[in-house]
Amino acid sequence: MPKTPTEIIKMALEREKEAVVDYSEYAKTASDPKVKEMFRFLAEEEKKHVKLLQEEIEKEIYQEM
């Protein structure tokens, strides 16, 4: 079980990365254009979350130094 904020953020980061992959795959396989666009949108949103979490990890690591 994670104990530090950095470990928790890293765990969340991995989940967000998995969501990007999943949504991207769903977008590729969807036949309905609206569904395809929805999954593309969700993948892009998750990419933003990945970036934010990566920035938080960098801040946490910097503070630990």
pLDDT digits (tens, 9 = 90+) for 1-50: 668 888 888 999 999 999 999 999 999 999 999 999 999 999 999 999 99
Label residue 63 by pLDDT band (50, 70, 90): confident
Give the mean model confidence (pLDDT) for residues 39-64: 91
Q: How many C-beta atoms surround the C-beta of residue 23 within 10 A?
A: 20
Residues 6 or more apart whose Cβ sits within 8 Å of residue 64 = 6
The number of domains in the chain is: 1
Domain span including residue 24: 5-64
Rounded-to-integer distance, Cα 31 and Cα 19, Å: 20
